[in-house]
Structure 1
Amino acid sequence: MKKKLAVALALMFVTTTAGTVFAAENNPFSSIPTNHWAYQSVNKLVKAGLIDGYGDGDFRGDKPITRYEMASLVAKAMSNEEKADAGLKSELTKLESEFSGELQNLGVRVTTLEKNQPNFKMNGTFDTRYTAKKTEDGASDVKGEYRLRLNGEAKVDSKTSFGVRLVNNAPNGSNFSNNTWTTFGKPDNDQDSSTFRIDRAFLTTKLGISDLTVGRQALKLDANDLLMDSGAYSFDGVKSAVKLNKKVTVTSNYGRLASGVTFLNSKKVDISAAGAYYENYKNIDVTSLGINYADKNFNGGITYAQLKNYSSDLDLKKWVAVNAGYLVNPKLSVAAEYVTNSADPVSTVVTGGDNAWYAKVLYGDQALKKEGQQNVALKYYDVGANSIVPAFFGPDPLTRNGNGHDFKGLGLDYNYAFSPTFGGELNYYKIDDKVTSTNSSYHYYRAALHVKF
């Protein structure tokens, strides 16, 4: 067993998706066809939790892999052999026999491959969508949009890595309410189509029991992004994540979110001028502390977060967010979040409550990792005007709705996987503005495609 564990530990230093296919039949890098019996055996081990697949937790059983990659997965299972029942141990024995040569030579292969691996690795997402927004008076807005995000990571040493993100569009200093999508046909110098640029750069290192991240990085405050759209907004500061055990994590953030920024409306008019809703949001420091619990069927957490205008020493938001989710069965899950803000409104424009509610029911495949998997989600929002900041509110299409009004939203999502890395969705939302005229309420339709690479 010690020998098996040694093999598995050696594999942790290798990117299992690497490998060059050679023609020689007995070469460990030769391709294994998807109808090979080993695929079925490895799939059984994945489902039993003895293997977590590749680095992203996904065993790609839909395409050929090399003998080296298959041996890597076998070694992962060997390190968890004590979890296997008699049937799984039998499968593991057959796999060990089949790939015994590769397992015995892994030390040599690992050393050779590591020297040839690039230190800088990239992945990304590309999304495109068509949307239609129709208000109660019959007015409509139909458009096509796209979004590209590239993520890069470089290993600095055994404890430290460098991360960077490039985007085609993101909030910026001249328009901090700018969204992350580019409308079809918009030139690169248009306000809502920024030049492709780096919007995040940070270092992550292990410091004692904490994973410490320093630099411009994503601002993730709560589970469902009700407080902040973490995909769009970044902050300059420090994040600490301390894993108390396998189920409990404590996370804190501290830094500067905005400094001298400007907010524009859809007509490119400054809405952060004196007396306006966003006047006090031009300079923001952020502080947060959260604790989260997660096991196989349940997850939950509580977060305290504060936005403060550092130039005027004004409390903008003082949030407490509580979330919970439960896997009822393999095909059904429920989730909910409650947010309350104890800071007073910073503008007379705000005419509404301090609390926000979110609920979601998801039926179908809980994670779309294989071709043909699908699910349906029903979502509900009830958002008080003083509970969130419209520009920062994460859920789309509710993001940037109104200018300090209460609203409700009911949505239906359908998601389908064409492959593990290519998916589509259809959405319908009905948004009710509870304060202004009915023309501020609307119906929203969307069809979107998502690619991961």
Structure 2
Amino acid sequence: MKKVLAIAAVAALTAGVSAYAANPFSDVTPNDWAYQAVEDLSEQGVVEGYPDGTFKGERNITRYEMAQIIARMLAKEDQLNAEQRATLDKLAGEYADELANLGVRVSNLEKKVGNIYWSGDARMRYQNNATGDDSWNGRMRINVKGQVNDSTYVQGRLNATMDFKESEDDSDVQKESEDDSDVQFDQLFANHDFGSVATVRLGRQPVAFGDQGGWLYGDTFGADAAQVTFHAGQKVDLTAGYGRFNTSDYDEGVEDQDAFYARGAADLNVAKLGVDYIKFTGDKEADTVAGYELMGANLTIPVQDFRVFGEYWKNTTYENGNDTAWNAGIGYGKLNLKKPGSFAIDVAYNDVDEGVYFGGTGLQTDALKYLTKHDATNVTFWNAMADVTLQKNVFLHGEYAFDVSADNADMNDKDAWTVSLNYKF
């Protein structure tokens, strides 16, 4: 304890603490929210605490002692889940002065102005398409998050895309005019947390299904929807929503159709399980998704650095027989944007019928457009993808769709590939 106080005293004398800052030696009691938050993280095995590896949860500590505990958690932030990182960000904001005096930089706080947080990403991508012209395009997205109070925030995103090469098939860059660039506000939603029990979102928000980044639907334009998620501890989430999906490769019949959707996901450590349900409103009509009912299930099994995964979907209301979709694959490694040289590779076999796919895949190769643009009733293909961190927050992404086979298509089946350089900030 004497050693901790000595270090804190030297830091206070050399850093020039403002007279209006909180006293670094004032007590943080077990009744304070920060103390309770750290205690909760300690119970989850996150907190290293004192040199003996414990958190003394039964007595008062100083703000500098608390800052030291937070600093140790910041050092392994990449190992935390989303909820733990959110708690850590809040703690770091509360003890920003003490962390600064200890020489700890908090990058998340440096992006904060008042109650506004900024982040974004940029991408330069070349696509060798199977169903259209090759494309070369760029994209920049700016996220802004306004923290209204401890339980509520509002988030939006500005999306700017540019086509560097004239193309007859420019849907991949999400253009709505004949210009070679487009700027739009593509996300805006309010998020309210009811403690750790439930989360409600209203507005245009990201929506994805399955555990593969949205294999059949995972476009980040998501849906204009009202959505509620119930949290059963750290391992189980149940989500239900109602609204309209915002992206589809079909020219009509999807974006103007209301739908109810539900998802369930459970992390059992030895496996991740998920189920999905989508029900489009209205009576069944030809050439539309009205009345469609789709059910899906997914499974991912981690085996050390490997993972085996698969997904299955069925349209229970489609009458023409082509009503299922499935894939199965294997992956290795894990991408970490803070660790140059880290990488992840995956390869999967895909078999998709027209009765299941309604546009909006998270894949960046375009083999599934044989269904939406060229009247195929089934398409099968292998898809390989790889990501590697080149520098901190800079990574290279590549995908290759091969052995593509589409029935009833009006053009020869072709392989497709894409490569992109991506930046996070």
TM-score range, shorter chain: 0.5 to 0.7
Shift of 1:24: 10
Larger mean Cα displacement after TM superposition, 394-403 or 143-152: 394-403
Contact 2:339–2:389 under 8 Å retained in 1: yes
SS at match of 1:256: strand
Q: Which consecutive residues of structure 1, in runs of 5 or more, have no partner in the other structure?
A: 5-22, 30-47, 53-66, 79-100, 171-176, 265-270, 273-277, 346-350
Q: Does 1:198 align with 2:170?
A: no
Partner residue of 2:85?
none
CA distance in 1, matches of 2:121, 2:66: 25
What RMSD over aligned residues (CA atoms) do the two structures have, in Å? 4.2
- Picking from 215, 222, 230, the partner of 2:219 is 230
Shift of 1:252: 0.8
CA distance in 1, matches of 2:74, 2:161: 42
Query: Given residue 142 of structure 2, which amino acid in structure 1 is its aligned partner?
Result: L
Shift of 1:221: 3.4
Per-residue Cα deviation, 1:10-52 (whole angstroms, up to 9, x for no partner):
xxxxxxxxxxxxx9993299xxxxxxxxxxxxxxxxxx96369
Per-residue Cα deviation, 1:350-377 (whole angstroms, up to 9, x for no partner):
x762111122311233545401112322
Q: 1:431 to 1:163 in 2, by over 3 A?
A: farther
Q: Does 1:328 align with 2:328?
A: no
SS at match of 1:243: strand
Query: Given residue 434 of structure 1, which amino acid in structure 2 is its aligned partner?
Result: A
Query: Given residue 365 of structure 2, which amino acid in structure 1 is its aligned partner?
Result: P
SS at match of 2:370: coil
Partner residue of 2:365?
397
Q: What aligned pairs does 1:11-160 form with structure 2 within 5 A after superposition? A: 26-27=14-15, 50=46, 71=68, 73-74=70-71, 76=73, 102=98, 117-133=113-129, 141-160=133-152
Partner residue of 1:55?
none
Partner residue of 1:287?
260
SS at match of 1:394: coil
Per-residue Cα deviation, 1:159-214 (whole angstroms, up to 9, x for no partner):
110010111259xxxxxx974526xxx9x9426x5631211111111246320001
Shift of 1:219: 2.6
Query: Given residue 70 of structure 2, which amino acid in structure 1 is its aligned partner?
Result: L
CA distance in 2, matches of 1:394, 1:27: 48
Contact 2:123–2:422 under 8 Å retained in 1: yes
Q: Does 1:411 align with 2:383?
A: yes
Query: Given residue 218 of structure 1, which amino acid in structure 2 is its aligned partner?
Result: P
Q: What aligned pairs does 1:183-194 form with structure 2 within 5 A after superposition? A: 189-190=177-178
CA distance in 1, matches of 2:134, 2:386: 20
Aligned residues, how many? 335
Q: 1:77 to 1:281 in 2, by over 3 A?
A: closer
Q: Does 1:239 align with 2:227?
A: yes
Q: Which consecutive residues of structure 2, in runs of 5 or more, have no partner in the other structure?
A: 5-10, 18-43, 49-63, 76-96, 163-168
